[in-house]
Structure 1
Amino acid sequence: MIVSPTTLTTDPVVANPELAPLREAVRAGDWPAVRDQLAACEGDARTRAIRAVSQKAPTGFLESVVKADPADTAAAAMLADRLTEKAWLVRTRKMAQDVSPEQFKRFHEMLAEAERVTADSVAHDGSDPAVWTVRLVIARGLQMGEAETRRRYEQVAARDPHHLSAQSQLLQRLCPKWGGSVEAMHEFARQCAAAAPEGAHNAVLIAEAHLEHALSLPGGRQAYLSRREVVAELQEALGRTVLHPAFQRTPGWVEVHHSFALLFGLIGDRKTARPLFEATGNLVSEMPWRYFGDPVDVFQEHRARAMRKWRLW
């Protein structure tokens, strides 16, 4: 059943209610309780949990925790993520030529502060993938180059070879819009998808790469996505993730559904897109919809198109 548009939400805690106590602990300024909640999270789920609650965390509170214990990597990751999110809001997601010099100046200042926080953190303890993941975002924003970005990614991969959040960030750096190439982007996505366990979320990188490839084209996006080999690869990736019996609704699961829903909708395959929309109910992921405008508005438009009844001839 399609829920009323008024109930649609992009809140990741609604998608994963188990994160609610973590958010409440952050809001209450109870850092010991935050530590206890994060102790139950592992790998990419922990990184996503940190990001889910950092978006609304009081910056002053996080700064006080980091100051009190510079070796607390969770606090450093949360603070750096908050600073980075604020920096991107200042920059906006417009093309570089449409961003003012004042916006770029403030953007770089805020990213430099996030870089300082994470540099201090890894100096105390360089083992936390969550810290290195936000350092990937910072490296891209400060244009540190592919070599440095890959070096930071390797710090994550050495500890968690299937850390999807970090893989998605490196994939972004390999996109043409950030100076990469479609060849490098697809190669990395395929390597990560092939290496991950069946049912893991990682094969969504295939969808992310094809979307970025389509967006890099000046025209003919639907023609590209409709190529037989592209559709076949997307179908295979869907089978390795959402449609696989081992797929779990851990943090990020809605974005996996919607990444495929968007692409199959653009292809015109409503039969495949429809159940992907139905499975997420009133939940809306920020990405990939944010590429095209307000996530909720864009989601509603694409979902309505996928839900239309087949025309009878």
Structure 2
Amino acid sequence: MAFLSSRRKKVRLAPELDDQDLGRLLKSLLATTRTGTIATTDLCVAQITRLLDQEPGDWDRRAHRLSVLADYLSASHLSRSWITREPRNANALLLHSWTQLVRGRSEGRLEGADAVVDDCLRAAELIPQDPTPWVVLLGVARLERWDQPQTFGVWNEVLARDRWNREAYLNMLGYLSPDEAGSRIQVLDFVDALSARMPANAPCAATELTAQVSQYHAVLDRGGFEALVARNHWSQAMAAQALDRVAHTWAQPGFLQHAGALADLNSLAYALMAADRRREARPLFEALGGTVTAWPWNAGGDPVTEFDQAQRRAAAGQ
């Protein structure tokens, strides 16, 4: 990953992170999807196809791009138009499935879950080596509360194709949480097993930190006295050690290479500020160059405002 300049830049939400090709595509889609004509659909499909076929075999980058596109197009009919015209196009199947999943998350239920599963399995047949259909199925498993044997079967299909798939690990972390189909003990066991084998700069390196931030948010959500002393979470041994393991390596130029690296740096900067470790957070803000992700900053309000205020406090040491 090419880190951004440390020179102060405008703070902005950037779902594409540092993927400039994806950012250009999002701007183009915004400009061309307003007419709703067949010609517009053709142009958008051609642009999306060109991007998704750009780096064959880079499953990490492919999942990032499909995830961002699905979020961006969730209110559009583009993915349905594409799959209707090309029902055996793997890119069309995956984008439509992921778009349906995004809509399902926002509505609390997945409309036509069986059709989404069928589309994922068709995509898996068309590109057997691609883990992405199985990653989308993990998202379906979470939303539909599949039982654990069935979900772990899908999980194993991902691992067989991409051992350190970031999206898959974050989905399993959510699935195993007490809020979904697991428990706090299962989350701890999952994180421990991963940490024992994972390379320090793997795409899924932020799984443990994500678990700690999620637990911190759960404390804040309880309100009352617990929320007032929530900062104490970061002084507990497991949380402090999770920060210690990554605080001085992740900001080093070139250490994190995966597509979601800037999202992980956002999580680390947030956690360090919550733990009042502002000096350690400063180089992370410099590396981010103003690139903001909605999570985890949105827990405190508007993410851009929260990020900007935290960045100023880190710079001032206050």
Q: Distance in 2 between matches of 1:171 and 1:223?
A: 23
Aligned-residue offset at 1:8: 2.8
Query: 3-state SS of the aligned residue for 2:246?
Result: helix
The alignment of Structure 1 onto Structure 2 pairs a total of residues equal to: 292
**CA separation in 1, counterparts of 2:161 and 2:317?**
47
Structure 2 match to 1:35: 49
- For 1:175, the equivalent position in structure 2 comes to 177
| Mapped pair 1:232 → 2:218 | no
Alignment of 1:138-287 (within 5 A): 138-217=140-219, 218=222, 219=226, 220-239=229-248, 241-243=250-252, 245-248=254-257, 250-287=258-295
Counterpart-to-counterpart distance in 1, 2:249 and 2:199:
9
Residues in 2 aligned to 1:24 and 1:265: alpha-carbon distance in whole angstroms: 32
Residue matched to 1:44 = 60
Identity of aligned residues (%): 20
Are the structure 2 counterparts of residues 193 and 46 from structure 1 closer, same or farther at C-alpha, using a change threshold of 3 Å? Answer: farther
Provide the rounded CA distance (Å) in 1 between the counterparts of 2:301 and 2:8. Answer: 21
Give the SS at the match of 2:291: coil
How far does the alpha carbon of each residue in 1:76-118 deviate from its partner, in whole angstroms, 9 at most, with x for none? 1211221222222334xxxxxxxxxxxxxxx332656534532
Deviates most, 269-278 or 10-19:
10-19
On the 8 A contact 2:11/2:291 being kept in 1, the answer is yes
CA distance in 2, matches of 1:261, 1:68: 44
Who is 1:10 aligned against? 13
My pick for the range that moved more, 71-80 or 43-52, is 71-80
* Distance of 1:255 and 1:50 partners within structure 2: 16
For residue 306 of structure 1, what is the aligned residue in structure 2?
Answer: 314
User: Separation in 1 of the partners of 2:303 and 2:148?
Assistant: 29
- Structure 1: gaps spanning 5 or more residues: 92-106
Contact 1:206 1:237 in 2 (8 A): no
- C-alpha distance in 2, partners of 1:182/1:214? 13
Instruction: Indicate the residue corresponding to 1:60 in structure 2.
Output: 77
Note the aligned Cα RMSD (angstroms).
Answer: 2.9
What TM-score do you get using the length of structure 1 for normalisation? Answer: 0.80
Give secondary structure in 1 for the equivalent of 2:201: coil
How has the CA–CA distance of structure 1 residues 307 and 195 changed in structure 2, closer, same or farther, with 3 Å as cutoff?
same
- Matches of 1:203 and 1:14, distance apart in 2: 17
Post-superposition offset of 1:252: 1.2
Partners of 1:235 and 1:126 lie apart in 2 by 39
Work out the CA distance in 2 between the residues paired with 1:294 and 1:111.
Answer: 32
2:88 to 71, 82, 101: 71
CA distance in 2, matches of 1:198, 1:274: 21
CA deviation profile, 1:164-219 (whole Å, cap 9, x unmatched): 11111111111122142223213323433443334333221111111223334453
**Offset, 1:229:** 4.4
* Aligned counterparts of 1:88 and 1:190: Cα–Cα separation in 2: 28
Name the CA distance, whole Å, in 1 between partners of 2:113 and 2:69.
19
- 1:235 to partner: Cα distance: 1.6
- 1:269: how far off? 0.5
Task: Name the CA shift for 1:66/1:299 in 2 (closer, same or farther; >3 Å).
Answer: same
CA distance in 2, matches of 1:267, 1:292: 15
Give TM-score, length-normalised by structure 2: 0.79
The aligned amino acid for 1:227 is Q
2: CA distance between counterparts of 1:226 and 1:21?
42
CA distance in 1, matches of 2:301, 2:129: 37
Q: 1:215, 1:194 → 2: CA distance?
A: 26
